[in-house]
Every structure is written in structure tokens, then in C-alpha cells.
Amino acid sequence: MRAFTRFACADWSGAKGSQHPGIALAVCDMGDEAPRLVTPPNKAWSRQAVADWLLAQDDDLLIGFDFSFAPPLIERGSYLPGDDVPSSAKDFWAYVDHLCDDPDLGAASFLEYHHRRHFYLGAADGTKSDYLFWRQCELPNKNSSGKASTVYDAIGAAQVAKASFAGMRFLNYVRDKVTIWPFDAIPTDGAVVVEIYTSIAARAAGVAKGRSKVRDGHALDNALHTLGSQPHQPFERYTDHATDALITAAWLRNVAGNPQFWAPNALNSKIAATEGWTFGVI
């Protein structure tokens, strides 16, 4: 496995607008120093600002983003069955980006207007179970951290649809400058982007399944200690976005050298080109 010199996590948001308190970015170096939050250029991060930050990095950075990098395709043979859409992830990212003119790489219009019939946005759409489809890495019992959300369920606090389609626009924006796993081969140097699920990092850090998010400094230090990290530098306001980013950055540092994480048994070339994979699901 190649080496990385820094590790980062971006807790993502698909919210409308251009300033997002739900985005947090944390980074740590090799060794055991605690991860630290990166201060946004304004009061809160925009998705564009995160993209600009990433493209400005010139070292061997491994960074995780917590959104689905593509919709399911293997299960039904299309991302949006019945619609004329691309059948590879990179082409689909470009398609989403071309179709959406939402501010700050947003993609709410994709769900709410351009391909409305594929997404569950409330009871008027009928039975939610008719919209629930998953990628191969999200199948029941595949993900040890619990049942994954689906990108077609676009309602409620736990939905990941808007964040994921905004994330696809983000990936299209950065794709020529960084490596995106597993869609690209891993190079010998430079930044690598992976999809992460913060709950996997939380379980590895000793945060019990089903517990509320980490929202205080003591619990955060306990989690970091489990991951072999020194205590964090206290900051003003503990949100689950900030603590998720900090814990996951430390977790990435711990597991980046595990070859099994880079080559899950069920990951094949078709899945890698169409659906991608969540780093840490083996």
C-alpha cells in the first residue's frame, strides 16, 4: 500500500444555499497528534469552498466524504430506470452537474424537478418501500454499522439524497485533479478521495451502536484515545458534524494501510465503475 502524509474527513451537507453549518472539515498528520478542525474561509463552509480547499492541497492526502458517490445500478440495471441517463458513475456525475444550476454545487432540483418520480419526498408519493434500493456495498448485513440510507429517500433528518447528488456535482468538479477511489486507480502520490460512513469510524472508536452523536469534549477524547490519538484541542461548540469529522479523520489514519479496505472481496470492476464502494466496508 502507498503511504499518505495527511488524513482528512469532510462531514457533508446537501442543504440549499451557500453557507452550511452542517459541513465540517478535519485533518490530521501521521503519528498520534489529534486531528484538528479546518477553519472555513467564511463563517461556515460552502461546498465550493471545500472543493477549492481540496484542490489547493499538494501533498499525499487521504480524505473521506460522507455521501454516496453514485446511486445503485447493479440491482436494476440503471440509476433511474426508464429514463435516458448514463450508465457509468463519472458520466452520471457530469450529467447531474450539467442538469443542475442550483447555487453552490447544490442538486435539490435534480430530485425535486428533473427526475422527480424516482424520489420519495412524502406520503403523496405512495409507499416508501417502493423507492428503497441499495448499492452492493449497502446490501443488508454487508455494512456492519447498520442499515444504510438510500439515495432515493429524500425526506427526513436521516436522508442522504440531497447531500449525495450535491456530492456528485462536487466529484465532477474535482475529478480531473484528484484520484477518486475506486473509480480511479490509486497513483503513487497525490490526493485520494474516498467515500466514508462516519458510523463505521464511530464504532471503531468505541461509540456504541444506537448511541447519540458525540457532542462533548470528554466523549470525543475517549473516542480519539481508542483510535490511538492524543486529546484534541478544545474548541467553542461541539456539534456532531465537527466530532464526526474529527473521529473519522483519526480513523482514516489508523486504517489507511489495511490492504483489505482497498480490495474488498465483493468489489469488482463493474461495481467500481458504476456504484463505487464505501471505504471500510469489507
**CATH number for 63:** 3.30.420
The answer to whether residue 116 is domain-embedded is no
**Is residue 215 one of the residues assigned to a domain?**
yes
Q: How many domains does the chain have?
A: 1
Domain contains 59: yes
Cell 447555487 sits at which residue? 103
**Residue 215 contacts by C-beta under 8 Å, 6 or more apart in sequence?**
238, 239, 240, 243
pTM: 0.94
Q: List the grid coordinates of 117.
A: 418520480
Domain presence at residue 34: yes
The per-residue pLDDT of the chain, averaged, comes to: 93
More confident residue, 158 or 114: 114
User: DSSP of 220-266, one letter per residue?
Assistant: HHHHHHHTT-PPPPP-S---HHHHHHHHHHHHHHHHTT-HHHHS-TT
**pLDDT in the model for residue 212:** 57
Lowest model confidence (mean pLDDT) among 15-19, 26-30, 170-174: 15-19
State yes or no: pLDDT of 157 exceeds 80. Answer: no
Q: Is residue 134 part of a domain?
A: no
User: Which range of residues forms the domain containing residue 245?
Assistant: 6-69+175-261
pLDDT in tens, 228-279: 999 999 888 889 999 999 999 999 999 999 999 999 999 999 999 999 999 9
**Position 104 in a domain:** no
Of 72-76, 175-179, 219-223, 234-238, which gets the smallest average pLDDT?
234-238
Share of the chain above pLDDT 90, in %: 84
What is the reported pLDDT for 210?
A: 66
Statement: residue 141 has pLDDT above 50: no
Is residue 48 situated within a structural domain?
Answer: yes
Chain CA centroid to CA 119, Å: 20
Tell me whether residue 154 is in a domain. Answer: no
